[in-house]
Amino acid sequence: MHSIAGEDYFITPAAEKRITELASRYQNEPEQLMNILLDIQKETANSFPRSVAALVSRVTGIPEAKLYGFVSFYSMFSTKPRGRYVVRMCHSAPCHVCGAQGVMEAISKTLGIKPGETTRDGRFTLEYCQCLGVCENAPAIMVNETVYRNLTPGRAATLMEDYQRGDMKEC
Amino acid sequence: MLSETRIVLRNLGRIDPVSVQDYQKQGGYGPLRKALSMKTEEVIAEMKRSGLRGRGGAGFPVWKKWSFTASAQSGQKYVICNADEGEPGTNKDRVILSGDPNSVFEGMAIAAYAVGADRGFLYLRREYPYVAPILDQALENARAEGCLGKNILGSSFSFDIEVISGGGAYVCGEETALIESIEGRRGEPRFKPPYPGVSGLYGRPTVVNNVETLANVPVILQRGGEWFSGIGVPNCTGTKVFTLCGNITQKGVFEYPMGTNLRDIYETHGGVKDNFDLRGFMLGGQSGNLINAGQMDLSMDIDSCQQAESVLGTGTIMVIDDRNDILDIVQNIMSFFIEESCGKCTPCREGNIRILEILRRISGGEGRMEDLTLLEDLAGMMNVACLCGLGQNSSVAVITSLHNFREVYVKAIERGRRA
Please tell me which residue of chain B has the smallest CA distance to A101.
B332
Question: Which CATH number among 1.20.1440.230, 3.40.30.10, 3.40.50.720, 2.102.10.10 corresponds to the domain B326-418?
Answer: 1.20.1440.230
Intervals of CATH 3.10.20.600 along chain B: 233-321
Q: Which of A33, A135, A145 sits opposite B243 (nearest CB)?
A: A135
Question: From the CB of residue B235, how many other CB atoms can be counted at a distance below 10 Å?
Answer: 15
Over residues B145-174, the mean pLDDT reads 97
What percentage of chain A has pLDDT greater than the value 90? 86
Cβ–Cβ gap B329/A93 under 8 Å: yes
Q: Which of A31, A38, A130 sits opposite B88 (nearest CB)?
A: A130
Question: What is the tens place of the pLDDT at every residue in B12-55?
Answer: 999 999 999 999 999 999 999 999 999 999 999 999 999 999 99
pLDDT of residue B10: 97
Q: Hey, is the C-beta of B255 within 8 angstroms of any chain A C-beta?
A: no
Domains of chain A as residue ranges with CATH: 13-73 (no CATH), 85-165 (3.40.30.10)
Q: Which of B243, B247, B252 sits opposite A97 (nearest CB)?
A: B247
Distance CA B359, CA B375 (A): 9
Shortest Cα distance, chain B CAs vs residue A171, angstroms: 11
Q: Hey, is the C-beta of B174 within 8 angstroms of any chain A C-beta?
A: no
Q: What's the CATH superfamily of B20-229? A: NADH-ubiquinone oxidoreductase 51kDa subunit (3.40.50.11540)
Q: Hey, is the C-beta of B394 within 8 angstroms of any chain A C-beta?
A: no
Residue B377 amino acid letter:
D
Cβ–Cβ gap A73/B91 under 8 Å: no
Cβ contacts of B12 on chain A, cutoff 8 Å: none
Pick from B180, B318, B329, B344 the residue to mutate for testing the A interface (most A CBs within 10 Å).
Answer: B318
DSSP bridge pairs for A141: A89, A148
Bridge-based pairing of strands A146-148 and B119-124 is: unpaired
Q: Between vectors from CA A158 to CA A157 and to CA A163, what angle results, nearest 5°?
A: 95
Band of pLDDT at residue A6, cut at 50, 70 and 90: very low
67-126 in chain A: CB under 8 A from chain B:
69-70, 73-77, 91-94, 96-98
Distance CA A32, CA B121 (A): 11
SS3 B67: helix
Distance CA B337, CA B171 (A): 10
Please give the helix or strand (H or E) that residue B408 lies within, else none: helix B406-418
Cβ contacts of A147 on chain B, cutoff 8 Å: 130
Q: How many residue pairs bridge chain A and chain B with CB atoms within 8 Å of each other?
A: 132
Cβ contacts of B335 on chain A, cutoff 8 Å: 91
Q: Hey, is the C-beta of B339 within 8 angstroms of any chain A C-beta?
A: yes
Cβ contacts of A38 on chain B, cutoff 8 Å: 126, 165, 167
Q: Hey, is the C-beta of A6 within 8 angstroms of any chain B C-beta?
A: no
Bridge-based pairing of strands B289-292 and B278-283 is: antiparallel
Lowest mean pLDDT among A134-138, B14-18, B310-314: B310-314
ipTM: 0.94
Cβ contacts of B96 on chain A, cutoff 8 Å: none
Return the CATH architecture of domain B233-321.
Roll (3.10)
- CB of B374 closer than 8 Å to CB of B380: no
Band of pLDDT at residue B87, cut at 50, 70 and 90: very high
Question: What is the tens place of the pLDDT at every residue in B368-403?
Answer: 999 999 999 999 999 999 999 999 999 999 999 999
Handedness of CA B367, B391, A65, A22 (dihedral sign): positive
Q: Which of B88, B244, B251 sits opposite A92 (nearest CB)?
A: B88
Question: From the CB of residue B42, how many other CB atoms can be counted at a distance below 10 Å?
Answer: 12
Distance CA B331, CA B325 (A): 10
pLDDT of residue B294: 96
Q: Which of A69, A76, A132 sits opposite B167 (nearest CB)?
A: A76
Question: From the CB of residue A80, how many other CB atoms can be counted at a distance below 10 Å?
Answer: 16
Question: What is the tens place of the pLDDT at every residue in A15-65?
Answer: 999 999 999 999 989 999 999 999 999 988 899 999 999 999 999 999 999
Shortest Cα distance, chain B CAs vs residue A159, angstroms: 20
Q: Hey, is the C-beta of B85 within 8 angstroms of any chain A C-beta?
A: yes
Question: From the CB of residue B361, how many other CB atoms can be counted at a distance below 10 Å?
Answer: 16
Cβ–Cβ gap B247/A38 under 8 Å: no
Residue B173 — φ and ψ, nearest 5°? -70, -20
Cβ contacts of A32 on chain B, cutoff 8 Å: 184
pLDDT of residue A2: 42
Q: Give which of A125, A94, A131, A85 is closest to A108, Cα–Cα.
A: A125
pLDDT of residue A3: 41
Question: What is the tens place of the pLDDT at every residue in B245-268?
Answer: 999 999 999 999 999 999 999 999
Question: What is the tens place of the pLDDT at every residue in B211-223?
Answer: 999 999 999 999 9
* Residue B181 exposed, middle or buried by CB count within 10 Å (0-12, 13-18, 19+): buried
- CB of B232 closer than 8 Å to CB of B7: no
Q: Give which of B109, B132, B102 is closest to B20, Cα–Cα.
A: B102
Cβ–Cβ gap A133/B91 under 8 Å: yes
Intervals of CATH 3.40.50.11540 along chain B: 20-229
Intervals of CATH 1.20.1440.230 along chain B: 326-418
Q: Give which of A35, A147, A95, A37 is closest to B98, Cα–Cα.
A: A147
